[in-house]
Amino acid sequence: MSDPLLLDRTDGVVTLTLNRPDSLNSLDAGLREQLRDTLAELDSDPGCRAVVLAGAGRAFCVGQDLREHVAILDSGTDDPMHAVREHYNPIAANLGGLSRPVVAAVRGTAAGAGASLACLADFRIGGPSTKLLMAFANVGLAGDTGISWALPRLVGHATATELLLLAQPVDAAEALRLGLLTRLVEDDAQVLPVAQELAARLAKGPTTAYAAIKRQLAVGGTGSLADALAAEAAAQQRAGATADHREATAAFVAKRSPIFTGA
């Protein structure tokens, strides 16, 4: 059997490819566990400076493997939603809290938890076939995998309510208009290369500062002005002591391009 999660390393960019194309990369227990554990490992991996999340075949990810879920429901277990606690919550926490920039290459459909994964990324690249569907209500469920946190941040509370309650697909052009996509390319074949190109650019940048900016935005999006100012002061204290900051300021004065190392 092929590995359900493929990992490629190229010049500081780690590309994670969900690899169950025959089921449109639906998330079964094996894939969920591997994705959860791999994301946790990458956060402390010095060789990882940016991450691309992609799906093999014609879809990004259609969410939970419903065949697996039906079998769990039919088993009579008193805890049929255990995967939310054991897999989906840790995956969302690891992905949304990753201290590296994350680019999602959203080719084809991203539905349910698959849409959640895309929304947790820092950037989302789509193509003509891209479609996002907050499918949870269609199967009688509430949202999970961080969608209630990520979606309002991208599109606002009112639109998030509409997308989650009506659970209708959003095509590529509308996704771009709403802010669900960062960039829309003209050819589906270019979605992954463009995502990797963006990740490579980020990997060459001041990754310690990027991590601090991501933490600032997490605080600033939900806290008070005082919370945001405190987070900014703490972040600047850390970033100001880095070699990257010294290198960048010296390069500016010398009128040359800086070389960032993440240190």
Whether the per-residue pLDDT at 216 is higher than 80: the answer is: yes
Give the residues across from 104 on adjacent strands: 53, 124
The DSSP string of 197-210 is: HHHHHHHTS-HHHH
Strand 170-171 with 131-133, pairing: antiparallel
Q: Which H or E element spans position 52? A: strand 50-55
Tell me the pLDDT tens digit for each residue of 106-135: 999 999 999 999 999 999 999 999 999 999
Tell me the pLDDT tens digit for each residue of 149-170: 999 999 999 999 999 999 999 9
* Percent of the chain topping pLDDT 90: 89
Whether the per-residue pLDDT at 221 is higher than 90: the answer is: no
For the record, the structure tokens of 26 come out as 């639906």
For the record, the structure tokens of 24 come out as 């449109």
pLDDT at position 199: 98
Nearest CA-CA partner of 56 in 128, 100, 99, 114? 114
Mean pLDDT for 207-226 is 91
Residues for the chain: how many in total? 263
Instruction: Name the class of domain 5-203.
Output: alpha beta
CA-to-CA distance for 166 and 22, rounded, in angstroms? Answer: 28
Which residues make Cβ contacts (< 8 Å) with residue 135, sequence separation at least 6? 63, 111, 112, 115, 167
Q: pTM to 2 decimals?
A: 0.95
Tell me the pLDDT tens digit for each residue of 86-109: 999 999 999 999 999 999 999 999
CA-to-CA distance for 145 and 188, rounded, in angstroms? Answer: 26
